[in-house]
Amino acid sequence: MAFDWREFLDLARALRSSFETSPLMEAASRSAVSRAYYAAFCHTRSYAEKHLKFQRTTAGIVHKLLREHLGQQGPEGKEIADKLRDLHGWRKRCDYEDTVSNLNNMAIEAISTAEAIISKLSESGHAR
């Protein structure tokens, strides 16, 4: 059975809530942003393959290709693409930059944005 990418969103939520007063809070928040992005990205990629004729590639450019493909699917697709672009930028900052300002807010926003993307796809009637 295929992995349910929404479990990464559950993990992001758990990371945020369980480390709020821990010395590991920064690592947990950075990881929460990353997991929220991959929950939304992989769930959307699977959805797009199944319902929008998106062709998966293993190249790193798949992130951009998915957003471009979604952008061609009308206003709702463009909205999802824009949210994925924001999440992707936040994820890269958390994974590569030594200092990330407003990290706690970013983690909360990343989780909320991933939830919105997954919810929007579920509303389309093709939820999995």
pLDDT tens readout for residues 99-109: 999 999 999 99
Q: Inter-axis angle of helices 75-96 and 25-51, to 10 degrees? A: 150
- Provide the pLDDT for residue 125: 58
Query: What's the rounded Cα separation, in Å, for the pair 98 and 75?
Result: 36
pLDDT at 25: 92
Q: Which two tokens stand for residue 105?
A: 């807010």
List Cβ neighbours of 80 (8 Å cut-off, separation of 6 or more). 44, 70, 117, 120, 121
Reduce the DSSP state of residue 24 to 3 states and report it: coil
pTM: predicted TM-score of the whole model, two decimal places = 0.93
Residues 6+ apart with CB under 8 A from 9: 35, 36, 39, 40, 111, 114, 115, 118
pLDDT confidence band for 1 (50 / 70 / 90) = confident
Q: Nearest-5° angle of CA 41, CA 83, CA 3? A: 20
R_g over Cα of the chain: 15
Pick the CATH number of 6-126 from 3.30.460, 1.10.8, 1.10.4100, 1.20.120: 1.20.120
